């Protein structure tokens, strides 16, 4: 554990989920490959779309409807709908196909086991602090067994603009009934989590899963209050520490 600012005790914690409580990168890589396999099986014409083509379509659907920004599931749904239409499907069929594809992806996207270390840490912390999850992703926290540790799970899109925007932090602060400086946000992303939390007035704990120092991180713009490399290190931060 490394402190960058003078520590003052907090009364609550908020948590990012992806890449903070578990390795989300490997999960997404697997789920996206399974989705591509599913798409190719159910619509062989889609096999012609490579990674670059999918990225172009992603950009296109966002340009068509800026309201999609921050809604990762709806971006994927629109992206697949567009791809299906380009494969010759009529509008209604393309939308139905996209709905089925997204349902498949969401199942696989949450088809993994959270490390026991995360459960153990949350169980202890939840006895001492009210906890809220704040995520830009679309993981099924209930299915993963995480929801019971949190008062609520706030997700970008349905609950407000994606981090580092302040909407989710504001909503969490209101739910906790505390001033922002009494809340510690824990997250892996220096922009979305650390910058977002600090701009919202929170204390920020950077979960450094990369093992690279802060000075070597390209998204470093605001110092966190504290840095950890294992979630269990949070257990040393008590109300009286």
List all residues 6 or more positions away from 91 whose beta carbon is below 8 Å from its beta carbon.
85
CA distance 28 to 235: 29
Q: How far apart are the first and last CA of the chain?
A: 14
Q: Under DSSP, is residue 94 helix (H, G, I), strand (E, B) or coil?
A: helix
91-109 helix and 72-86 helix, angle to the nearest 10 degrees? 140
Angle at 223 between CA 192 and CA 138, to 5 degrees: 15
Annotated catalytic residue within 16, 18, 188, 193: 16
Assess whether 65 carries a catalytic annotation: no
Residue holding tokens 């840490």?
Answer: 121
- Contacts for 218 with CB less than 8 Å, ≥ 6 apart: none
| CB atoms near residue 33 (< 10 Å) | 11
Hey, which residues are catalytic here?
A: 16
């Amino acid at each position: 554990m490394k402190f960058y600012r003078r520590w003052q005790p907090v009364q609550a914690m908020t948590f990012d989920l992806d890449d903070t409580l578990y390795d989300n990168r490997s999960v997404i890589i697997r789920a996206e490959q399974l989705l591509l396999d599913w798409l190719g099986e159910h619509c062989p014409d889609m096999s012609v779309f490579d990674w670059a083509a999918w990225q172009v379509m992603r950009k296109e659907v966002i340009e068509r409807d800026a309201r999609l920004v921050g809604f990762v599931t709806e971006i994927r749904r629109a992206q697949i709908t567009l791809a299906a239409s380009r494969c010759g499907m009529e509008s209604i069929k393309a939308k139905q196909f996209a709905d089925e594809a997204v349902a498949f992806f969401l199942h696989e996207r949450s088809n993994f086991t959270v490390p026991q270390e995360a459960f153990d840490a949350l169980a202890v912390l939840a006895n001492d602090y009210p906890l809220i999850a704040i995520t830009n992703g679309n993981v099924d926290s209930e299915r993963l067994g995480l929801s019971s540790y949190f008062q609520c799970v706030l997700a970008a899109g349905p609950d407000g603009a994606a981090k580092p925007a302040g909407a989710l932090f504001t909503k969490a602060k209101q739910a906790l009934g505390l001033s922002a400086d009494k809340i510690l946000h824990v997250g892996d992303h220096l922009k979305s989590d650390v910058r977002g939390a600090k701009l919202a007035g929170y204390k920020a704990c950077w979960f450094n899963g990369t093992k690279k120092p802060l000075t070597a991180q390209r998204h470093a713009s605001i110092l966190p209050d504290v840095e950890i490399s294992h979630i269990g290190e949070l257990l040393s931060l008590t109300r009286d520490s």
